[in-house]
Structure 1
Amino acid sequence: MADVATRAPASQPAGATTDPEPNETLYIQNLNENVKLSVLKQSLEALFSTYGKVLSVVAHTNLRMRGQAFVSFKSRDVAAKAMREVNGFPLYGKAMRITFARSKSDSVVRYLAGADGESALEAHKRARLAEKPLKRRRNILREREMQRKRKAAEAGVPVESVEPKSGSLARVQANQLPDEYLPPNKILFLQQIPSTTTRDDLQKLFGAYPNLLEVRTIPGRSDIAFVEYNDIPSGVQAREATNGYAMPNGERLKVSYARA
């Protein structure tokens, strides 16, 4: 059964409080839309589980929710600590923006209710369904689209079908490519890193090649990291030199270009 929480408000009237009240669910924006959803959710769970038990990670593929996710904890204190420390962390090349969600997720409602979890969840869902039509009517983007269609109908102009933009199609195709066929990038994605390897070890290895900008590791995931150079030629040189590099334990480092 899908877990649901409400997003933080995009905007509010002047003078109104813009920050949602602290709760157990975090709302995450600016996620890399080109990363496979299952991989993204796995990475989020690994990252946030270093702060406490993660009850759920929810992300969707529909256009309205792309690049967004919800992560729920058992405690709002844990959620607050995770938000303070992870907000702005670059996951797959994009800095996450994190706020509290406007409402509790289904998993939090069920957990906090204990033995009455299922009945509390049903009541929570009924209340959400009752509020949904009101939210839909308040949706500004939906209203603008409705106005556009009404004007087109009044003018006798057929409403055009929405075709994927060429850029969007290119991103989908790039996401389906095997790692070895990805186009050159100044950001490298490292895999198969031995658990004993430190950030300093990676810094030393990739610092041997010119124009290194930074090495980014992911908390809770010692087997993957990102390395960024100042320009694409430097990234190409480093990737060619280090892909398949024999680590001290004999394992081969896998280095590919990050997905654009």
Structure 2
Amino acid sequence: MALAKPSPTLYVSNLETKTKKPELKASLYSLFTPYGQIIDIVAKKHDGGRGQAFIVFAEQSAATAALRGLSGEVFYNKELSISYSKSVSNATLSRQDPNLSREKAAMEAAKLVVSNAQGEYEQLEKEREADEAALRGEKRELDGTEEVEGHDGDERSAKRLKQEEEDEEEMELDEDDEEDDNKSSLICSNLPPECNSDIMSALFSQYPGFITVTSYSSSLPKSHSKPNQGAKSFIVKFDTAENSQKAQDETKGYLMQPGWEMGVSLK
């Protein structure tokens, strides 16, 4: 493998495509973190990004060690293909430029995430509309036929059952994210309505041990001030209580927008 242009960011391809993004990012973090400090992991599920991810290390030497140590590694029953990224990540740029504050760097990354999230949303809408059109066509076919062959009926029933199972898995994933994790998670409140999990990931992925972000709808701790109208809340999960404490200390009171002071506390 050519190593002509070393970079602290690795491009990883040939990833398994059916794994949900939070699980995929957590697994990639566990696999690559022994080689050095990871400051960001970018994994896309749409817009041609299926089966691909970018692992951003704090140091280029750590990226090189990971590339040499993990190329060809079997990950979810597929051999990883790893190379240096051709472009510099936003996380790396913010570390190299001393004029960029942590808040400004996070906001710039958040803007990019919002743009990408919009594209992902549009792709999901297209897929949903296609699924609905297929279901309408199937219903018309059933209404216009007095007797359906047993094999065809079984096949359609199997498709519906598979869809129901996938929806059930999504619900179980959301429920699992709400379980107590021994103080290794943060409750973040008073976030603007347009804020989402991807934007929060862009903010907290710069802290060691970050795993994932999910929405939070339960009552807020008494230590949090009354949120603005329409505000959102999130759970931010870390691998250890120590890392979640560090992130809390550095983000408490963070302004996502003027007038939206974020409340942060240990779960």
Fold agreement, TM-score > 0.5: no
Structure-1-length-normalised TM-score? 0.40
Structure ranking higher in helix proportion: 2
TM-score of the superposition, structure 2-length normalised? Answer: 0.39
